[in-house]
Amino acid sequence: MKTVALRHHKLQVLDRGEGIPLLFVHGFPLDHWMWSAQVDCFSQRCRTIVPDLRGFGKSELPDGPASMEAYADDLYEMLNVLGEKQPVVLIGLSMGGYIGWQFFQKYADRVLAMVACDTRTVADTPAAAAARTALIANIRRDGAKAAADAMLPRLFSPETHLHQPQLVEQTRQVILKTPVNGLVAALEGMRTRPDMTPLLAKIDVPTLVMVGEHDQISPPAEMEQICEQVSDCKWFVVPGAAHLSPLENPNVFNGALSEFLSK
Ligand code: MLT
């Protein structure tokens, strides 16, 4: 991991390989670790850049709101500090996808292609926002364990819970290490994120939309509609997976990503 000093805070970033830059953006409440199988596969032929977002992993959390736009601004600044001037393939999962839409909106000239995994474009409904407020209170009271308990049952498919319990446990350990302030800031940022659906018609780079077949947080039917609104979009469903498709079924996920990249 490298320490990348931005103007107001420092990020920890895994930066491995050479070639076309692939920027992997993790979901909530995880860190760069969730992309390990993709780094192993793609760093042989690409530059894989995998940050811990502000307040996650060992990255610092500066003052101010952790809006999806603020995370995107961090990524832009990080790429500049790393000296990466080529447009990137931006691969974002869930909250990483929310950040990806913001990044495209502000920095489209720095995007070669988009990969939206298990994510959404709509804003929180009042009920979803209220659930985040309740989770924030639980995390403030019980720590990161409250986030693990709330999220883990929904992150993985029944198959994964049954056949890969060690993966579920590893994920729990990553969540338990996440600082409370980082979790709260991200939940506040997601709770107030804007509806990005109108952006889809403006995306003019090749796009891949991928989703686990059992994803309940960003359901396949909703993600298929996202793909239909992007002019040059490929659609792929990851079998046996739920919300963490790159972790649950990495071979199939990597195969689909590899085919997209080769085109
Ligand atoms: C994520 O995986 O990043 C979260 O499930 C996103 C969300 O809670 O909206």
Tell me the average pLDDT of the chain. 97
Distance 118 CA to ligand 1 centre (A): 9
pLDDT digits (tens, 9 = 90+) for 85-116: 999 999 999 999 999 999 999 999 999 999 99
Distance 44 CA to ligand 1 centre (A): 29
Atom number of ligand 1 nearest to Cα 96: 3
Atom number of ligand 1 nearest to Cα 243: 2
Indicate if the pLDDT at residue 263 is higher than 90. no
How far is it, in rounded angstroms, from Cα 246 to Cα 9? 29
pLDDT digits (tens, 9 = 90+) for 172-203: 999 999 999 999 999 999 999 999 999 999 99
Atom number of ligand 1 nearest to Cα 217: 5
Closest of 250, 216, 246, 195 to residue 27, by C-alpha? 246
pLDDT digits (tens, 9 = 90+) for 131-141: 999 999 999 99
Q: Residue 146: which pLDDT band, with cuts at 50, 70 and 90? A: very high
Closest of 95, 94, 91, 183 to residue 136, by C-alpha? 183
Burial 209-233, CB ≥16 within 10 A → b, else e? bbbbebbebbbbeebeebbeebeeb
Distance 18 CA to ligand 1 centre (A): 30
Indicate if the pLDDT at residue 65 is higher than 90. no
Q: Residue 207: which pLDDT band, with cuts at 50, 70 and 90? A: very high
Indicate if the pLDDT at residue 64 is higher than 90. no
Q: How far is the CA of 144 from the CAs of 2, 30, 180, 208, in angstroms?
A: 25, 11, 6, 32
Indicate if the pLDDT at residue 145 is higher than 90. yes
Query: Does ligand 1 come within 6 angstroms of the Cβ of 27?
Result: yes
Amino acid 205: pLDDT: 98
Closest of 231, 246, 252 to residue 96, by C-alpha? 246
Indicate if the pLDDT at residue 38 is higher than 90. yes
Nearest residue CA, atom 9 of ligand 1? 95
Amino acid 10: pLDDT: 98
Amino acid 197: pLDDT: 98
* Rg value, the chain, Cα: 17
Distance 85 CA to ligand 1 centre (A): 29
How far is it, in rounded angstroms, from Cα 230 to Cα 27? 22
